[in-house]
Chains A and B, each alone.
Chain A
Amino acid sequence: MSNSTEQQEFTITVYTENQIGILNRIAIIFSRRKINIESLNVSPSEIEHIHRFNILITETEEVVRKLARQIEKQVEVLKVYYNTNEDIIWQELALYKVPTETIVEKVVVERLLRENGARAVVIRKDYTVFETTGHRQETDKLIQVLQPYGLIEFVRSARVAIIKDSEGFNSKLREFERMEPGQEVIENEFLDQPKNVFTM
């Protein structure tokens, strides 16, 4: 891991109970330190009733580690990981609305779209909606490309990320051994035993 006092992008992955209010509890841990969340995605995870947050921020590792612990301390949070970009596979989805006229008339646009891996989602007489997935730079690049051809509307989703290390927890935990109190077994021992679990 790189220098802990140098700012860089971190993707924080949080596993939580699906409970009203947990989004706010997590969000205020950032806002109280005046840290801007650059992108946030909340979705179901591979485990039923457990939600997965992907939070993107630019900070030093030292700060991110403290944030991660304060998030993990929340009653309804199961586990928190933080990763640099090297540790993850991530994608963002972008949609672009362009006048159909330009697509039809200007062959160059079609070529550009193909070069940028854009797919048409909807084609109407008046406009066409394209989509791409990729990293920020890639989706940004297509905006630049389409701007001169009358880009009408653009939207980009939050980052969704998968942690590369598929054995996941084990090797990560060893890396953070000093920082993390529990072991993988302990962390997840109750996930498959709903009977032993206290729920409301």
Chain B
Amino acid sequence: MDTQEEALAVAEPKKTTRVSGSVALLEGLIAEGTETIFGYPGGAIMPIYDAIYDYKEKLNHILVRHEQGATHAAQGFARTSGKVGVVFATSGPGATNLVTGLADAQIDSTPLVCITGQVFAHLLGTDAFQETDVINITTPVTKWNYQVTDANEIPAALAKAFYIARSGRPGPVLIDITKNAQIQLFDYEGYVPCNHIRSYRPKPIIRKTYVEQAAALINEAKKPFILFGQGVLLGNAEQEFKAFVEKSGIPAAWTILGAGAIPTDHPLNVGMLGMHGNYGPNVQTNSCDVLIAVGMRFDDRVTGRLDKYATQAKVIHLDIDPAEIDKNVKADVPVWGDCKETLPLLTSLINEKTHDSWLAEFNAFAKIEEEELIRKELEPASGELTMGEVINQLNILTKGEAVIVSDVGQHQMVACRYGKLNTTRLSVTSGGLGTMGFGLPAAIGAKIGAPHRQVIAVIGDGGFQMTLQELGTIMQFGVNVKILILNNQFLGMVRQWQQLFNDKRYSFVDITSPDFVKLAESYYISGQKVTARETLVQALETMLNHDGSYLLEVMVSKEHNVFPMVPQGCSVSEIRLK
């Protein structure tokens, strides 16, 4: 110690306040910028709920109708806002109800911080009332989880949770807090955010050599093709990505979670990848010479049969998660790192180019798809209503400015294929896990995350019935979401597979529904049902112009199939238009 002054400074005790673990938790949440919590109270989390009673001004708590709904709402919030979604649930059943949402957030890299109450520490392991081993149950579906048994741990545990949830490849984190720790008074030193954990490297170090190798491959390529995924959005790298695409002149196609990273009608956006993606992008995957994958993980729904996937191409893979490199598709050049940093490096090394004749090939495929399929889907002159035409009319009315939340199934593929997105973070859907029931609660969070946008939840008749209790949440908190049910009176996607691959043996896909409009009415939500083409546009306008939430049920063709389709076990280039 050099001076006496310094010695004194060290000796001075830190200022502390005596607070409960619960209060420290809420203070920490506020310090992290949390404004909204999606939750449901219960015995083991009561001290936290007692504390939040005094924080009503600072923290907006949305009481969901089921804890699964809380996780999906938090996911929707995270997707549209780019912030961390926060969930509260009690122990036992409250905690186990989070599992589906955690798994969904884990596979789709959505940042969540979930707080669960737990029985008193001295009761752990005794099969106490509403005790469940939530840490072990949620280990496979969380990026990190931690059990707190002492209030002193709460500030640091929360800081670590937020840091882990949002850094690197984001993901869900769970903190389980025993009831005694929630009650316990301790000397709170204030909240210190976490920005480093020694065993955790959120971003790998960028290797210049790989960026240079990638640039060399791109510069020599005659038929380069870009695939982009949610990594672009998660890295907030939309501008960097656009600059890369435009300078390179390379056609780019998206995974469903990458939708909107560049606008739908960007001239170099050639469409959607995968099982129900566009014709050109799937076929051309197997004729390109250099494949540049940005922030995507080569899911099997994107690649189809792996041993026949882009075998002719050199693969450049940009990803923040080293475990994704070579996991499914072998990378010739692995460009590790945050694409917000690697893309500008790459852009600076590539030549400004156009690939007119190569792009024309994509356009030729698009024309075939348009004539043989899309026109019939979007503008059928007669016959039953199609899902495609509903989305098309919606596009015309929303002009690509609305958030489209979709559930899972046929309507999801249609909404993602045809939904018009002018900008990023307008598409919210359950990608990797394919969670039916995701749509309605996710829309609640999506609206809270993007309050100035129109939010439309496009949901099938099956998925809606999985989480329809969240109509209660919409009612109670006046969440202005528009619910668009595309009712084909079937579990459509499974029915489609049973038709195509199981000889039309329709096994338990015939699902009946209640009167959805009346159901909405019972929740004081206005609505109507459309069965004819003539009334569709008017009904959509009514829905969009309605002041507050609205439910529109559209009866669509019962046995309509989603095409194109890459049948399971087939190569992407074997994509079928019918």
Interface residues of A (CB under 8 A from B): 16-17, 20-21, 24-25, 28, 32, 65-66, 69-70, 72-73, 75-78, 178-183, 186, 190-191, 196-200
Contact = CB atoms under 8 A, between A and B. Distances in A.
Contacts of B321: 73
Interface stretch (B49-57, B194-202, B484-492): B194-202
A20 B124 CA distance: 15
Nearest to A187: B201
Nearest to B203: A181
B323 A16 contact: no
Contacts of B160: 198, 200
A78 B204 contact: no
Interface of B: 135-136, 139-140, 143-147, 153, 156-157, 160, 164, 194-201, 204-205, 321-323, 325-327, 334, 336
Nearest to A194: B198
Given A28-B139, A77-B199, A197-B198, A66 B326 contact: yes
Contact of A75 (B195, B197, B325): B197
Given A25-B139, A69-B322, A198-B197, 10 more contacts: A17-B199, A20-B147, A21-B135, A21-B145, A75-B143, A183-B205, A190-B198, A191-B198, A200-B153, A200-B156
Contact of A24 (B139, B200, B326): B139
B204 A182 contact: yes
A73 B156 CA distance: 21
Contacts of A32: 140
A14 B512 CA distance: 53
B205 A75 contact: no
A73 B139 contact: no
Nearest to B210: A178
A75 B323 contact: no
B164 A78 contact: no
A198 B194 contact: yes
A183 B206 CA distance: 11
B306 to A, nearest CB: 13
A66 B199 contact: no
Contacts of A25: 139
Contacts of B204: 181-182
Contacts of A21: 135-136, 139, 145-147
A73 B322 contact: yes
B199 A78 contact: yes
Contact of A76 (B147, B199, B205): B199
Contacts of A66: 323, 326-327
Contacts of B326: 65-66, 179
Contact of B205 (A24, A77, A186): A186
B157 A200 contact: yes
B205 A182 contact: yes
Q: 4 closest A-B pairs (Cβ-Cβ)?
A: A181-B204, A69-B323, A190-B198, A75-B144
B300 to A, nearest CB: 15
A50 B195 CA distance: 21
Nearest to A69: B323
Contacts of A16: 199
A160 to B, nearest CB: 22
A190 B197 CA distance: 9
A65 B133 CA distance: 31
Nearest to B327: A66
17 contacts: A16-B199, A21-B136, A21-B139, A24-B139, A32-B140, A66-B323, A69-B327, A72-B323, A76-B144, A76-B199, A78-B199, A181-B201, A190-B196, A191-B198, A197-B196, A198-B198, A200-B156
A76 B140 CA distance: 14
A198 B196 contact: yes
Contacts of A199: 156
Contacts of B139: 21, 24-25, 28
A196 B196 CA distance: 8
A174 B139 CA distance: 33
Nearest to A21: B135
Contacts of B146: 21, 200
A70 B322 CA distance: 9
Contacts of B197: 75, 198
Contact of B334 (A178, A183, A197): A178
B547 to A, nearest CB: 46
Nearest to A76: B199
Nearest to B321: A73
Contacts of B195: 198
Nearest to B320: A181
A198 B160 CA distance: 9
Contacts of A183: 205
A73 B199 contact: no
Nearest to A178: B334
A73 to B, nearest CB: 5
B199 A181 contact: no
A183 B143 CA distance: 24
Contacts of B205: 181-183, 186
Contacts of B323: 66, 69-70, 72-73
Contacts of B153: 200
Nearest to B337: A181
B108 to A, nearest CB: 16
Contacts of B144: 75-76
Contacts of A190: 196, 198
Contacts of A77: 199
A199 B155 CA distance: 12
Contacts of B334: 178
Contact of B336 (A20, A28, A181, A196): A181
Nearest to B201: A182
Nearest to A189: B198
| Residue of B196, B323, B327, B334 ringed by the most chain A CB atoms within 10 A | B323
| Residue of A16, A32, A70 ringed by the most chain B CB atoms within 10 A | A70
A185 B197 CA distance: 16
A65 B326 CA distance: 9
Contacts of B147: 20-21
A71 B322 CA distance: 11
Nearest to A65: B326
Contacts of A17: 199
B136 A24 contact: yes
